[in-house]
Amino acid sequence: MAEGPERVTEAVARRRRTAYALNTALAILLLFGIVALVEALSYRHNRRFDLTEGRRQSLSDQSIKVLRGLTQPVKAVGFSSPERVDRASLEDLLRLYAYHSDRFTFELIDLDRSPATARRYGVTTPNTVVVESGAREEKVLLPTEEKVTNALLKVTREARRVVYFLQGHGEGEVNNTDRPGFSQARDAIQGANYEVKELLLLRERDVPADAAVLVVAGPKREPLPAEVAALERYVQRGGKLLVLLDPEQAPALAVFLEKHGVRPGQDVIVDRLSRVLGGDYLIPVVTQYESHPITREFTLASFFPYARTVDAAASPPEGVTVQVLARTGEGSWAETDREALRRGEARFDAGKDRRGPVPVGAVATVEVKSPAKKGEAKAAAGTAVEPASEPAAPRKARIVAYGTAAFASNNYLNLSGNRDLFLNTIAWLAEEEDLISIRPREAKFTPVILTAGQGQAAFWIGVVVPPAVALLAGVAVGIRRRRAR
């Protein structure tokens, strides 16, 4: 007996419902599969984009370099409490570090609920981070990016290297907190995990063997011939020397630099652009940098108060490679008339003065041969030197010279790019090029200030309009459904 039309229609409807259900289930499964695939890909190949002013939500180039150069696991233990408002910012900071290196891991500990862990690390105050690697650990209070990165350097580097500052000739003092002092430069160097010491060559015969870098910061008086000889011996054994030489100061040091392909000028740089920026015309602005590890990708302006030119010799001595590091702008020149400068009447004289851009810094690499230890010992004792028991090995000394010491003083160190340029120079001289970069900077407070009209418009657009649109849309849908019935 044939089926009735009702049963046929019901069977067709049932098959359609089944097909719809299967299609819906497959669509849901496909959607979950796509979501799972995207999650897996994003976990393995995630990317961050920071569109904030000054890249507030990103780490600096230096921190990223340190993280990517990690060769051993590092763990950061942060101590906070869930109710603290700074817990989220602490977690965000540590997540940024973990994002750039698989060797960096972190853990957040509730200080109140984990007293045993806090006691083990010696932590008593919240918002503290302990960075540890192997048997080393470093405690950071009120952590910022700069503090955490410095702690990373301290727990991963084998030993603190020593940077010496020459004293005894009126140089800038590392313990002087006044404007001409170098206490801020000392703190910046120590923050990069170096030890800073003063050196008096009037007492010492030679530069100490543990000197990673020797800084001569603006001597006002002439060094003795024996001291210059000690500097030469330091270079000949592969030493690293930073000379900040002010105009008209220490002629013997200028002669010493010329022997190694660096030529300090007998002039003072005048820059009209400085007047435009509200400064003095004797504070030249430096924005042109040559290709060198110290200045590569360096885009910050730096300021060189009362500076002389420092150029590279056209024909450097054999075994010396020399190049200019930085130059002033087009509106500058090297003034040779000191009396006109003192009267405030300096002007460019063609044929006498050097038109800008003019060089303000140069770097020299000196290839030297290291004598055998036996020969060195006898030479130091003043006896005849026997043939070396080991073949001489070539080594390279490094010399960097700038035409002013004031750019690294307390008064100017934190002005624009001066601090980064100074620390990049120290890192290159110490043969730690991985630390050359732009360092962390504090985020600027940039409030949004609206006029009365702008505030009213923001209120209507953000508070009134969206609910009104939603209400009108609901009313329109309701009316349409009622008419459809």
**Structure-token pair, residue 395:** 């080594």
Q: Give the predicted TM-score (pTM) of the model.
A: 0.71
Q: Where are the alpha helices (DSSP H) in 5-144?
A: 5-44, 61-68, 87-100, 115-121
CA distances from 307 to 271, 361, 472 (A): 10, 10, 71
Nearest to 425 by CA among 417, 436, 414: 436
Instruction: Report residue 227's pLDDT band, with 50, 70 and 90 as the boundaries.
Output: very high
Q: Say if residue 411's pLDDT is above 50.
A: yes
Sorted by where each begins, the domain ranges of the chain are 61-155, 159-382+390-435
What's the token pair of residue 7?
């049963």
Q: CB within 8 A of 213, min separation 6: which ones?
A: 163, 164, 240, 241, 242, 426, 429, 430
Domain 159-382+390-435 has CATH 3.40.50: yes
Looking at residue 449, what DSSP letter applies?
-
What H or E segment, with its residue span, contains residue 339? helix 338-343
Count of residues in the chain: 485
User: Coil, helix or strand for 159?
Assistant: coil
Average of pLDDT values for 67-74?
91
**Residue at 185: amino acid letter:** A
Cα gap 14→284, rounded to integer Å: 87
How far is the CA of 477 from the CAs of 124, 182, 471, 473, in angstroms? 61, 74, 10, 6
**pLDDT cut 90: percent of the chain above it:** 51
Is residue 110 within 8 A of residue 80, CB to CB? The reply is yes
Q: Which CATH number fits domain 61-155: 3.40.30.10, 3.40.50.720, 3.40.50.2300, 3.90.1490.10?
A: 3.40.30.10
What pLDDT does 22 receive?
85
As separate numbers, helices (DSSP H) first and strands (DSSP E) second, the chain gives: 14, 18
pLDDT of residue 45: 59
Q: What is the pLDDT of residues 82-137, one digit of tens each?
A: 888 889 999 999 999 999 999 999 999 998 899 999 999 999 989 999 999 988 89
Q: Tell whether the model's pLDDT for residue 302 goes beyond 80.
A: yes
> Between the CA of residue 106 and those of 103, 111, 222, 249, 403, what are the distances in Å?
10, 15, 53, 52, 45
